[in-house]
Chain A
């Protein structure tokens, strides 16, 4: 508790280029960029594969690769290949981390829509694309949002690794604190990362309320 008071009570931590607001903003920037790119890749791909049934193998491979892949290892590899100083080495591992949960959940959500419902949609005279966007997607939305939420939380938690390669973000407090044995900073940084993850979780709960039809939410 003392450490927390030391960290958050220190006025120096609340301003300047290495203060909490700036680090938080940096952290959010990496995370949001990686998350958005991952979502733009994985949501359309998952929907397409779930709808057509073609390319399901890709989903399986992605899901397994995600479990096996060491984020830190990938970070170091990309740094070695791309060099230090740019934001790219941080984004690539975060994107690679975020794609599988989004892809797998979107795919499962769309593919898992009741066959009767799909049948009814076609039988009413909806065209293929209308079936996907007007029926399958809204019904699969809870699962798609779940995938996005898992990815977002993983990204904000893992974005701390940016500090390893000299970039900013909340990871700085942890890495620098460890290096200088300033444990108040380490714990303070960790608490901030955890709080951010919880905030993301909460934001998705709200999004779920707004975006998902009450008719679908109740079914699950």
Chain B
């Protein structure tokens, strides 16, 4: 666990980058620092591995004050990913990934073997190992950056706007890849971004910071969307908060009805469409096991009769959910009246809602 205790960073010219920040970064989960530029999110991140030293207050890593640790030693034990990947242009990809193992004195063979494993882990073709950074695309370079940060298997990973320099499609795939990696690796990740959608997508916990280096709100993404602490957070979260929150509610509990006769299926039980007077009409599907309520609602809206088709992994129809069924679940997750925590009265149905703040250790 990483803790910030009354941490302030004041520069010599009097600018306060981080103002009396106190928070806890839970072990084994992704904590996102998000906010507009000048809110001190990057400074806060860089104080963890002492790229910047705090003016006052304490940052501890598993109970130990980071200032008691010699910076290079500290940094070798913490993965660090930066915006432009920052790969060493004169070194081959494999040696870039093996940077920290080399520093730790591993043999060249062991370090390179490890580097090859990591290239595979982050979804890169091992054939790229002998190339130089300039020969890779931005997205590939960023994956190498992640592999390099993970090379010595550090328990903590600091990511400073790692995906903001790549195009939106590549960014989305890198985000998915990070979530997949994290489900395997369970690292303690601190992730800095200015993009609230990225924060809400990736964070188990999101810390919203405001200009002047103050913490505005720290909560799970679903809570943040339902109960922004103040106008600043509300504005920063932007439009469609209600709809976006549905992404954090599992569609598992949507009440399914038996498949009606006007839903046409093939011999394997896969939906083909709705029978109408003019032939087959389009249908929308969702998988209650893996999809969110947002997908279910979307599927309902895509069908002419407002009914979403529930399918299993193979695409076989399991039942249907009309808007009334979706509405029932929506009502359960209605934002509480002033100040009450959500989920308290819904009988544990908030599991999978993603707003649990006690992250797994």
Contacts and interface: CB of A to CB of B under 8 A. Distances in A.
A47 B49 CA distance: 27
Interface in A99-156: 114, 116-117, 119-127, 130, 135, 138-139, 141
Interface string B60-79: 00000000000111111100
How many chain A residues sit at the interface, stated as a range, is 20 to 34
Contacts of A141: 90
Given A125-B100, A214-B132, A215-B133, A117 B89 contact: yes
A59 B77 CA distance: 38
Contacts, number: 73
Interface residues of B, number: 29
A119 to B, nearest CB: 6
Which label, helix, strand, loop or mixed, suits the secondary structure of the A interface?
helix
Contacts of A122: 51, 75
A124 B80 contact: yes
A114 B85 CA distance: 12
Contact of B83 (A116, A139, A216, A219): A116
Contacts of B49: 123
A218 interface: yes
Given A123-B51, A125-B72, A215 B134 contact: yes
Contact of A215 (B72, B82, B90): B90
B76 A139 contact: no
B88 A121 contact: yes
B82 A123 contact: yes
Interface centre among B51, B76, B89, B99 (most CB of A within 10 A): B89
Given A123-B75, A126-B72, A215-B91, 8 more contacts: A114-B84, A114-B86, A120-B85, A123-B49, A123-B51, A124-B103, A213-B132, A215-B132
Interface of A: 114, 116-117, 119-127, 130, 135, 138-139, 141, 213-216, 218-219
22 contacts: A114-B86, A116-B82, A116-B83, A117-B89, A119-B51, A119-B86, A120-B85, A122-B75, A123-B51, A124-B76, A124-B100, A125-B100, A125-B103, A126-B103, A130-B103, A135-B88, A139-B89, A141-B90, A213-B90, A215-B92, A215-B132, A215-B133
